């Protein structure tokens, strides 16, 4: 018998940052997001992590920080999926991140990413050239604090995104200094080329470094190498996340065109490990979020 305390909360990373809808079946419009959210919801997802895209034809591969776009997308997903928990992106590069704060205020999501530290965001091609110009994903403490302040204002639970081991350690410092009050929710992001690798052997180390009793999940980015990590997360009691932002491939190497099969695979892992899959209402209770109206 499983109880709500050991059930896995499944998050669907529904679309991602820059994936081109002309090349991959990622949702862009409010209607597309609602349809994909429903597929994930029916497969077991209680949470959808969402990035917003520009709605102009031909621009759907670019991010949008238009509060009206955010409101329309969130409203469509909520209507399609009763009780769905929205987990909203806030990831920006550079000194101007007002758009992310404006979108938080516009939608007041139950959860939002709080990128907990900076990372050199790099990737090298096989020929030794940079895959993109080297860049810094900058998340200095002052920026973290401003996001936390707005999340407190909007009643939004921060999910602390940790791209490297040192960032995991920083989260406790945010609590120690009073930047954040309460038990933090951790998201270990694995598979970014210049961050933590997608390696299950890292998980015990990360669990030692996080604050005791704090909830956690792993975002695992890649192809075949990600699935043993997801399985180990399920075994160790973590929450689970996948979706078209993180991968297009199932364990057998087949390519998906929807979030549904990825979420079904996570649900299967949870059940094989003797854990149930949390409903949206159960996930809200586990995360101390208000129940849906």
pLDDT confidence of residue 120 = 97
Q: Phi-psi category of 214—alpha, beta or left, where left has phi over 0 and alpha has psi -120 to 50? A: beta
Domain 4-286, second-level architecture: Alpha-Beta Barrel (3.20)
Stretches where the chain sits below pLDDT 50 are: 1-3
Q: What is the pTM of this model?
A: 0.96
d(CA 285, CA 56): 38
pLDDT confidence of residue 2 = 47
pLDDT confidence of residue 171 = 98
pLDDT confidence of residue 19 = 83
pLDDT confidence of residue 1 = 41
pLDDT confidence of residue 21 = 85
Cα–Cα distances in Å, from 218 out to 200, 266, 285? 10, 12, 20
Beta strands in 202-246 (DSSP E): 216-220, 239-242
């Amino acid at each position: 018998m499983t109880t709500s305390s050991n059930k896995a909360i499944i998050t669907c990373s529904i679309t991602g940052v820059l994936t081109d809808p002309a090349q991959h079946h990622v949702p862009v419009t409010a209607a597309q997001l609602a349809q994909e959210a429903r597929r994930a919801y029916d497969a077991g997802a209680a949470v959808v992590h969402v990035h917003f895209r520009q709605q102009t034809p031909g621009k759907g591969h670019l991010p949008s920080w238009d509060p009206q776009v955010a409101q329309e997308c969130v409203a469509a997903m909520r209507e399609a999926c009763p009780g769905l928990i929205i987990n909203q992106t806030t990831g920006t590069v550079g000194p101007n991140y007002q758009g992310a704060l404006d979108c938080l205020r516009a939608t007041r999501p139950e959860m939002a990413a709080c990128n907990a530290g900076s990372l050199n965001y790099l990737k090298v091609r096989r020929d030794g050239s940079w895959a993109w110009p080297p860049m810094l994903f900058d998340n200095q403490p002052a920026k973290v604090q401003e996001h936390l302040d707005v999340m407190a204002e909007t009643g939004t639970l921060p999910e602390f995104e940790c791209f490297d081991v040192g960032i995991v350690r920083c989260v406790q410092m945010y609590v120690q200094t009073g930047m954040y009050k309460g038990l933090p929710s951790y998201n270990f992001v694995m598979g970014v080329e210049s961050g933590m690798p997608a390696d299950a052997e890292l998980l015990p180390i990360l669990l030692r470094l996080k604050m005791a009793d704090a909830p956690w999940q792993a975002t695992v980015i890649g192809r075949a190498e990600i699935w043993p990590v997801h399985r180990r997360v399920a075994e160790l009691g973590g929450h689970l996340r996948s979706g078209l932002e993180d991968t297009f491939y199932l364990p057998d190497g087949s390519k998906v065109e929807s979030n549904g099969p990825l979420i079904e695979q996570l649900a299967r892992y949870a059940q094989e490990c003797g854990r149930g899959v949390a409903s949206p209402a159960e996930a809200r209770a586990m995360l101390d979020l208000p129940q849906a109206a």
